[in-house]
């Protein structure tokens, strides 16, 4: 029996298997590395900032703001806004947001590791692993044309949610507890 518009083909779901497995592996690998690696405590390159925490807070805030650009431009691309935003805005805001997260994630994993003694820090650590896993799955699912239509919105929404959670458990905490510093 052939698949109809209302009856999804099993191959449409199996095409998601590799991206989801790869994303899961990235998530677990980051978590295992974060726990197994002995944190150095060394602040990685806070160039232009007074210390590592302000650097991480501001870079994460930049990625957080760009995540909202991602949502608005995705809604535009899917015809939900009634306003056309050039597709390049979505691509480049996503690329820039990802690039901003790299020094933050590197510092978190290398200098601090995955920590679980403080609930906020545990949530932050798990959200960081989840973000990179979901991002991996989304990037691997992106070129596949045979995935279900909900794939990219769901994976993008999960990446956005993880990034908001990361910002709340790091930058927002820093700005409201320590203060706004460069």
Q: Give the integer Cα–Cα distance in Å for 130 and 117.
A: 19
25 is a domain residue: yes
CA pseudo-torsion sign 154, 156, 157, 161: positive
Q: Say if 56 falls within a structural domain.
A: yes
Q: What is the pLDDT of residue 161?
A: 95
Task: Provide the domain limits for residue 40.
Answer: 14-177
Q: Is residue 3 part of a domain?
A: no
pTM as predicted: 0.85
Kindly state whether residue 171 falls inside one of the protein's structural domains: yes
Does the residue 5 lie in any domain? Answer: no
pLDDT of 1 reads: 44
Domain count, the chain: 1
d(CA 124, CA 110): 15
List C-alpha distances in Å: 150 to 8, 22, 58: 12, 19, 32
Listed in sequence order, the residues at least 6 apart from 148 whose beta carbon sits closer than 8 Å to its beta carbon are 8, 12, 13, 16
**Long-range contacts from 152-158, C-beta under 8 angstroms, 24+ separation:** 153/74, 153/78, 156/70, 156/71, 156/74, 158/130, 158/134
- One digit per residue, pLDDT tens: the chain, 182 residues? 444 444 555 566 678 888 999 999 999 999 999 999 888 877 666 677 777 888 889 999 999 999 999 999 999 988 888 888 887 999 999 999 999 999 999 888 888 888 888 999 999 999 999 999 999 999 999 888 888 888 889 999 999 999 999 999 999 999 999 877 66
Q: Is residue 9 part of a domain?
A: no
User: Which of these, 126, 140, 129, 131, lies nearest to 98 by C-alpha position?
Assistant: 131
**Tokens found for residue 49:** 């900032």
CA–CA distance, 46 with 84 (Å, rounded to integer): 38
The pair of three-digit structure tokens given for residue 16, joined into one six-digit string:
């998601």
């Amino acid at each position: 029996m052939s698949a109809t518009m209302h009856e999804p083909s099993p191959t449409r779901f199996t095409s998601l298997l590799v991206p989801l497995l790869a994303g899961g592996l990235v998530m677990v690998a980051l978590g295992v590395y974060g726990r197994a690696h002995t944190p150095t405590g060394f602040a990685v390159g806070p160039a232009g900032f007074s210390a590592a925490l302000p650097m991480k807070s501001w870079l994460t805030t930049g990625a957080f703001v760009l995540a909202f650009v991602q949502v608005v431009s995705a809604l535009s691309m899917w015809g939900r806004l009634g306003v056309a935003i050039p597709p390049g805005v979505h691509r480049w805001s996503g690329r820039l947001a990802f690039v901003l997260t790299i020094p933050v994630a590197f510092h978190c994993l290398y200098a601090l590791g995955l920590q679980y003694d403080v609930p906020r820090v545990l949530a932050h650590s798990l959200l960081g692993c989840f973000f990179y896993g979901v991002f991996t799955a989304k990037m691997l699912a992106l070129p596949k044309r045979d995935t279900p239509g909900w794939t990219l919105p769901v994976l993008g929404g999960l990446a956005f949610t993880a990034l908001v959670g990361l910002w709340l458990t790091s930058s927002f905490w820093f700005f409201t507890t320590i203060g706004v510093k460069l």
